[in-house]
Amino acid sequence: MGEEVWKAVEEDWRSAPLRPELKATLVFLEKQTRAPDELTEADADLVRAAGVSDAALRDAATVCAMFNMIARLAEAFRWDVPTWDMVLQRAPKMLDDGYELEAIFERM
């Protein structure tokens, strides 16, 4: 994705020049996040009609669900959410040591 496209996405993804498959998926994910009780099979059908496979939609929905769950838990329990700079500093050690609980606590 080019820098101009990324800036357009940051400003308003709905008007950004995205492929129809991506835009349809983002519409689905936004509804999954903001109004999950209103999400229906028809919403998935719209994404499929844009050319997205069931497997790709399932993957996107799963990642979205996990992110939503983590974000809501972080808010509820006031977990420390590191800044982007902190994430970049921690990333090499995370890649080296993995995501085992002991390694995570050692990095804190």
Q: What is the pLDDT of residues 74-102, one digit of tens each?
A: 889 998 878 888 888 887 877 777 666 56
SS3 38: helix
Read off the tokens for 49: 């009609």
pLDDT of 99 reads 61
Distances from the Cα of 61 to the Cαs of 24, 65, 80, 93, in angstroms?
12, 6, 25, 29
Mean pLDDT value across residues 3-14: 89
Q: Dump the DSSP string for 40-99.
A: -HHHHHHHHHTT--HHHHHHHHHHHHHHHHHHHHHHHHT-----HHHHHHHHHHHHHH-S
Give the C-alpha separation, 90 to 97, whole Å: 11
Mean pLDDT of the chain: 88
The predicted model scores a pTM of 0.73
Q: What is the pLDDT of residues 50-81, one digit of tens each?
A: 999 999 999 999 999 999 999 899 889 998 87
